[in-house]
Chains A and B, each alone.
Chain A
Amino acid sequence: QVQLVQSGGEVKKPGASVKVSCKASGYIFSNYGISWVRQAPGQGPEWMGWISGYKDSTKYAQRFQGRVTVTTDTSTSTAYMELRGLRSDDTAVYYCATSKGSSPYDSFAIWGQGTMVIVSS
């Protein structure tokens, strides 16, 4: 079955960067795009960005433009999300998710298990 498995939790200092991975299985990786969604404690989810399965196209939420980069490694069926200039309000669970489609704007049928990122001095 389609599955997304993410890397483990991270603790970072303010100003640092974090890179979270998301390994896909159960489908042809290049067929579907992957989105990144974060959820701060007690808050609703927040979409950050998307990358196509062919890694030739990306879309980012305006508020993260310039601070986040999403990439893929098709040889290992893995997507990555790097967030730079971390602040305390970036503390959240970060999810990868896919709609099993090719549009950046879609609902998300499959989710990774989430990666907790804590930003603290």
Chain B
Amino acid sequence: QVQLVQSGAEVKKPGASVKVSCKASGYTFTSYDINWVRQATGQGLEWMGWMNPNSGNTGYAQKFQGRVTMTRNTSISTAYMELSSLRSEDTAVYYCARENIPHSGYGLFDPWGQGTLVTVSS
């Protein structure tokens, strides 16, 4: 079955960077865009950006421009999201989510990874 499995929880100090991985299985990794969405504790969902695993092309939300980098390793069907210059407000669960329709850019997210808690604290 289609599955996205994310890396484990991270604790980082303010100013540091974090890199979260998302390993895909059950489908052709390069055929579907990967999106990243985060959720602060008790809060709503916030879209961060997308990546085309075939071309490596990316698109980021303005809010994260300059701080976020989305990459992939096609040989191991894994997508990565790196967020730099971390601050306390970045404490959240970070999800990867596959685009539901191949290379459509439709913005429909299914399935999702299980989430990775990133805690930023001094």
Q: Do A and B associate with each other?
A: no
- Residues on A lying within 8 angstroms of B by beta carbon are none
- Residues on B lying within 8 angstroms of A by beta carbon are none
